[in-house]
Amino acid sequence: MNTADISFGFSDEGIEEIVLDSRKKMQHALFVPIIGEHSDGHDYIDMAIANGAVAVLSSRPIEALQAKHPAVRFYQVTDTTKALQEIGYMERKKFHGTVIGVTGSVGKTTTRSMIATAIAAGKKVFQTAGNANSQVGVPITMFQMARSGAEAAVIELGMSEPGEMTRIAQIACVDMAVMTNIGIAHIEQLKTQENILREKLHILDGMREGGALYLNMDDAILSKLTLEEIHAFGIATEQTIELRSYEMKDYDLHLMVKGSHMLQNASAAMHIATALGVDEASAQHALENFSGLAGRGETFRTKEGVLVIDDAYNASPASMKAGLEALAALEGKRHIAVLADMLELGEKTLDYHREVGSYLATLPIDAVFLYGERAAAIGEGIQNAVAEPHKPIGDEAARRVPTIEYFTDLEELRNTLHAIACSGDVLLFKGSNSMKLSEIVRDFRQKQC
């Protein structure tokens, strides 16, 4: 094994997994102690070794640890996160299949899963586990990918601050990239959508010569993007990059998951799969049986006959509108939207919530339950839209002015929903993850058919 690119002489011999959580039971693992805002993983090295770690990175002196644990390999490094990233790059070079990277403001995880589903119709495929798309998640993904034996890998790359995408893209070195959209997630940190676009485009850093970037033509910003503009940002100036496009109307797909955003994601998946030589009909069949992911649009029905759309993992204005569209598209007696605060939207937070309310007023939704101080502005948006007598709102024949209820206590919301939900109802749960709507969804899952 060549370790020339590793600054600290690391060898992955005998290591079967990389672990960050010292509490996890592990076998033949490398433990990487990460220094966080509130804790330092170095304080838990002994616990990790007790749980099965056979190798440890450390930015603290290792002499005492070596004396205490002579059977464990210790690697002295300056920064454990950067050392982990070096390992990730070393592991990436061992994988000889095609690597597809997915980024965007919303929809990354679902798009990644759909692409993997379509490719799996004809090839062995590996994909990011969960949402391990960060500076520490991507290197671990590279380690797993190198051992997967897959012909193709679909890797999710996320970012929340300037420079982060470059760091993980130079580890992943994707062959193909998909950009889902440019919204306002993380606009609090990045300030403008142009800055968000610029940061997302750094997925091209490390891309092989002649690689392809797939852009969603249904997105207002991406549909206008040119190679010249990418180069003007100082990105991919030394590479030959092919721009390819996709949009939801490219394929005649009949999906189990509803909404135009799901059709866009599926279209990207079809383009990638067919480009890799997967039979189109097989890829389409696989996608049409895709039922969604927990927390990201998955639907399930309870024993009482309540249909639940679990979209509670995260929220932005674009994804909340898409969730509402999916709710309206499903058949049911009552369409009920359970919406919580959208976070990290910066100084225009309340305006974005009102915008969602204005959009909701155009849809055939019967009841809206709003949880949180920011979410209350969604109610303002609904009421303002309904109050404008000369403004057409959706299909007037199908539109219903929804009832609106406001909540600041999660337990009160939980009790109310359990009391009113009945057979034939369709419930959408959507909000930022920290608002904990997933706890109420979990209650309904316990009643799942």
Looking at the predicted structure, is the pLDDT value of residue 355 above 90? yes
N-term to C-term CA, the chain: 51
Give every CB contact of residue 344 below 8 A, 6+ residues apart in sequence.
185, 186, 187, 188, 189, 432
Query: CB neighbours (10 Å) of residue 411?
Result: 10
Looking at the predicted structure, is the pLDDT value of residue 292 above 90? no
CATH level 3 topology of 95-288? UDP-N-acetylmuramoyl-L-alanine:D-glutamate ligase (3.40.1190)
- Please state the CATH superfamily assignment of the domain spanning residues 298-445 in this structure: Mur ligase, C-terminal domain (3.90.190.20)
Q: What is the pLDDT of residues 320-345, one digit of tens each?
A: 999 999 999 999 999 999 999 999 88
The mean of the pLDDT values for the chain is: 92
**Span of 64-78, 163-177, 282-296, 386-400 with lowest mean pLDDT:** 386-400
pLDDT at 397: 40
Q: pTM of the full predicted structure?
A: 0.85
Band (133; pLDDT cuts 50, 70, 90): confident
Looking at the predicted structure, is the pLDDT value of residue 2 above 50? no
Q: Which residues of 267-296 are buried (b: 16+ CB within 10 A; e: fewer)?
A: bbbbbbbbebebeeeebbebbeebebbebb
Band (5; pLDDT cuts 50, 70, 90): low
Q: What is the pLDDT of residues 8-54, one digit of tens each?
A: 889 999 999 999 999 999 999 999 999 988 899 999 999 999 999 99
Per-residue pLDDT, averaged over 347-352, amounts to: 93
Residue 283, CA distances (Å) to 70, 176, 277, 319, 421 in order: 52, 18, 10, 25, 37
Band (184; pLDDT cuts 50, 70, 90): confident
Which residues partner with 428 through β-bridges?
Answer: 309, 337
Band (288; pLDDT cuts 50, 70, 90): very high
Token output for 365: 């939704």
Q: Do domains 95-288 and 298-445 have the same CATH topology?
A: no
Looking at the predicted structure, is the pLDDT value of residue 58 above 80? yes
Looking at the predicted structure, is the pLDDT value of residue 366 above 90? yes
Band (99; pLDDT cuts 50, 70, 90): very high
Task: Report which of 87, 287, 104, 250 is spatially closest to residue 171, judged by C-alpha positions.
Answer: 87
CB 400 within 8 A of CB 364: yes
Task: Report which of 261, 258, 254 is spatially closest to residue 299, judged by C-alpha positions.
Answer: 258
Residue type, 1: M
H or E, element range at 354: helix 349-360
CATH of 17-79, one of 3.40.718.10, 3.40.1390.10, 3.30.365.10, 3.30.40.10: 3.40.1390.10
Distance CA 346, CA 358 (A): 20
Per-residue pLDDT, averaged over 45-70, amounts to: 96
Residue 97, CA distances (Å) to 43, 74, 209, 431 in order: 38, 32, 15, 37
CB 435 within 8 A of CB 341: yes
Per-residue pLDDT, averaged over 273-300, amounts to: 94
Q: What is the pLDDT of residues 197-246, one digit of tens each?
A: 999 999 999 998 899 999 999 999 999 999 999 999 999 998 889 999 99
Q: What is the pLDDT of residues 267-285, one digit of tens each?
A: 999 999 999 999 999 999 9
Domain ranges of the chain: 17-79, 95-288, 298-445
H or E, element range at 37: none
**Span of 313-317, 361-365, 381-385, 418-422 with lowest mean pLDDT:** 313-317
Distance CA 64, CA 57 (A): 14
CB 272 within 8 A of CB 214: yes
Per-residue pLDDT, averaged over 54-67, amounts to: 96
